[in-house]
Structure 1
Amino acid sequence: MPAYTKKQQLIDALTERIESGQYPPGAKLPSGTELCAEFGVSRQVVRSAIDWLKARGLVDGAPGAGVFVRAPNR
């Protein structure tokens, strides 16, 4: 299951960056191309990880504009 491992590594890294404030609320995540290059994964793995983050309410996608960190629900 290498794809699952790579996806989980990407999810963990992005979640850590969001939670640590490296990517603060409103920040735009790196592009899919940049994430592919940084993590050595396919576009499908990046899309799948972003979909997971969206489902958990950590990010929102804006068609044509990118993916942005959501403000925490408090």
Structure 2
Amino acid sequence: MPTKPKWQQLADHIRAQIESGELQPGDKLPSTAQLRAEHNISAGMVRQAILVLQTQGLVEGVHGLGVFVSDR
């Protein structure tokens, strides 16, 4: 079975944290730099993962402040 792309692995990881309650509505996600270092992936991969989560309504970006878990 082929492995998932790294951006998808990151999106799945953050989604699992949200679903488990580890990340609550209003919580700020780590910065792109932190996620890059933590998961050993490129900034583009982090952006792709965040974009997928935004499309799913799980997180929202606030310009100049960061990315936060959405209220459901």
Counterparts of 1:48 and 1:7, CA distance in 2: 6
Count the aligned residue pairs: 71
User: Which residue does 1:24 correspond to in 2?
Assistant: 24
Q: How does 1:1-74 map to 2 (within 5 A)?
A: 5-72=5-72
Counterparts of 1:42 and 1:63, CA distance in 2: 21
TM-score, structure 2 normalization: 0.92
Tell me which protein shows more helix as a share of its residues.
1
Unaligned runs of 5+ in 1: none
Secondary structure of 1:61's counterpart equals strand
| Identical-pair percentage | 46
Q: CA RMSD in A?
A: 1.5
Unaligned runs of 5+ in 2: none
